[in-house]
Homo-oligomer: A and B are copies of this chain.
């Protein structure tokens, strides 16, 4: 095989023969569906009623990590943004920025993961774009996915938290951030810590099917649990009280946090979400998440109050309390 068949070349982004070949042999093959195959300037879709629309660019480093790769992340991330608004993920776009010299076999592996993840969520890629930049002008591969979906459960909003709501987390926190940190530092723990990177639509679909009244729902990505809770407290002008001892954190994440001076609630997650539901139905919601989401670690971690509006109060295991602030500074760059 010639060298230029093993790696992506500038000509693969030129809009000519080579680009057509790359798109057809890799992207169309993996993502095959009639809308994408129509090759129009834009995909034609049918919609009725309220739709959700979201976008995310993925620049994660390294591209492959324990529990996933940039491709899996790019699909799960955008599917999750739609799911968090109570919307059924339907159509995604996908845009690649590829550095000249990127290995075709890595591209195929990443695209393969994307196809697998699409399949799990019943979503399709209906339009795309491919750019190639010269060596040194990008770091391997960046992927943007945007998505649209039909809103099945309206009125989920950062502004909808009310005093008396319970705060739930769908699993143990910090695993994605910790997995990226491990991969980057070349650490291999004896344990099998993997990213939580996953598509959340199946569990959200169950919550909707069971007619659970969700006030707010968000996946705790960059900035982690701390960022979500602070955003909610501010947007809804309520106080959120959280008990540190109730927040599920696995031993590996605890250990890495001690080693590197991070807090688990600041670390990113990519398949873990936070819910606010009326206190009286919190146990029911928890059971659904645990049973259908395979989220054994899901837990009720706090509640919403009128006091301390705009603030998140963390009660430590020793009985003292402190404000849990929005993360500040560099933390871990390029975790998603």
Among B46, B57, B327, which residue has its beta carbon within 8 angstroms of that of A14? B327
Q: Which residues of B have CB within 8 Å of A82?
A: 41-42
Specify which chain B residues have a CB less than 8 angstroms from the CB of A224 in the assembled complex. 15
- The 0/1 profile, CB within 8 Å of B marked 1, for residues 114-127 of chain A is 00000000000011
Which residues of A in the span 24-68 have a Cβ within 8 Å of any Cβ on B?
38-59, 61
State which residues 120-141 of A face B: CB under 8 Å: 126-129, 131-134, 136-139
Provided the pairs A15-B227, A41-B85, A48-B47 are in contact, do residues A127 and B54 lie with their beta carbons within 8 angstroms? yes
Does A151 sit within 8 A of B, measured CB to CB? yes
Q: Give CA–CA (A199, B308) in the complex, Å.
A: 49
How many copies of this chain sit in the oligomeric assembly?
2
A328 CB-CB contact with B under 8 Å: yes
Residues facing B in A310-336 (CB within 8 A) are: 326-331, 333-334, 336
Contact, CB under 8 Å: A151 / B44: yes
Among A70-118, those with CB < 8 Å from B are 80-82, 84-85, 87, 91, 93-97
A69 interface contact, C-beta 8 A: no
Residue of B nearest to A142 (CB): B97
A241 sits at the interface (CB 8 A): no
Q: Is the CB of A42 within 8 A of B52?
A: yes
Where the two chains meet, the residues of A that have a C-beta atom closer than 8 Å to any C-beta of B are 9-11, 13-20, 38-59, 61, 80-82, 84-85, 87, 91, 93-97, 126-129, 131-134, 136-139, 142, 144, 146-149, 151, 157-159, 218-219, 221-224, 227, 231, 235, 268, 326-331, 333-334, 336
User: Would you mind naming 6 contact pairs between A and B with Cβ atoms under 8 Å apart?
Assistant: A15-B227, A40-B157, A46-B49, A59-B137, A131-B336, A146-B146
